[in-house]
Chains A and B, each alone.
Chain A
């Protein structure tokens, strides 16, 4: 409960800190979301990507 109260009183109640928290959160969210989506894409297309067949054409 003290975590919630700290979060509520320190961050959420004031609009300025709330906006800063959203901006900072979106920075990390973007990074995590992009990494996750690239990982999913590469796992679906495993074996078709350049990095998977590169060893056949480059030494």
Chain B
């Protein structure tokens, strides 16, 4: 019982006042003021932790108010600098009194011009990329090398030799006349350098299909020329007849007949 009443060792915990701990700063001294003026002690300029802490309004008032004067201490609005936006303003609007509408065209058009230049460059780059990828979808060289060609035979008149391009080489399609067919069929095979009968070289005797590359050194013969009325190679004077067979000159072989077939509706497919 007595230990509770006379608890001297508990005395510090029952004290109603707490000890004052100084923050190390001097509390600003009261400044005598004239009745019409509030004097505020200037804040310390140095930005150390202590000076900034001292600038907070928790450490005691920086201004003393004359009790006869109704006034207030203002912490903001006087000692905090208004933010400076001049770094973000164009020079036309640095002056806060300048009118926005007077310089808006110059400012906006410059910004839009930069955006438009970026758009033009982007459109060019996008077009290049798209063209690149779309062109990769076109037929590759190995596909083109095995390509077929369809020829409408109705467009080739009788007695005429027409040249097409097929797998990178000239292709001669000759619509032979009845005289030519009769002449070529009558040629004795054993007199030929590369003995082939006309029936071996044509599927339909009216149509001769040969590759227009001279078998000598690869020149392109001229149609309807030479001594045998067929093809004549101007390079070294090889004469081919109307069946594409070598008749005279240095070439060793007949003109090559590519694989071809005739479709029903007047179409010839080579390849």
Contacts and interface: CB of A to CB of B under 8 A. Distances in A.
Interface of A: 1, 4-5, 7-9, 12-13, 18, 21-23, 25-26, 29-30, 33
Of A1, A9, A12, A30, most B-chain CB atoms within 10 Å: A12
A37 B15 CA distance: 90
A12 to B, nearest CB: 4
B205 to A, nearest CB: 42
Contact of A8 (B108, B119, B123): B108
Contacts of A4: 105-106, 109-110
Contacts of A30: 124, 127
Contacts of B127: 26, 30
7 contacts: A4-B105, A5-B105, A12-B112, A12-B116, A22-B116, A25-B120, A29-B120
Contacts of A8: 104-105, 108-109, 112
A26 B118 CA distance: 10
Interface in B81-108: 104-106, 108
Contacts of A21: 116
A22 B112 CA distance: 11
Contacts of B106: 1, 4-5
Contact of B112 (A18, A29, A33): A18
A34 to B, nearest CB: 9
A8 B101 CA distance: 13
Contacts of A18: 112, 116
A26 B121 CA distance: 7
A51 B178 CA distance: 50
A48 to B, nearest CB: 25
B123 A26 contact: yes
A26 B120 CA distance: 5
A56 B123 CA distance: 42
B121 to A, nearest CB: 7
Contact of A22 (B104, B105, B110, B123): B123
Of A8, A13, A21, A29, most B-chain CB atoms within 10 Å: A8
Nearest to A30: B124
A25 to B, nearest CB: 5
A30 B120 CA distance: 9
A8 B106 CA distance: 8
Contact of B108 (A1, A12, A29, A33): A12
A25 B120 CA distance: 6
A22 B109 CA distance: 14
A22 B108 contact: no
A30 B112 CA distance: 20
Given A4-B110, A8-B104, A30-B124, 11 more contacts: A1-B106, A4-B106, A7-B109, A7-B113, A8-B112, A9-B105, A12-B116, A18-B116, A23-B123, A25-B116, A26-B124
A11 B124 CA distance: 20
Contacts of B112: 8, 12, 18
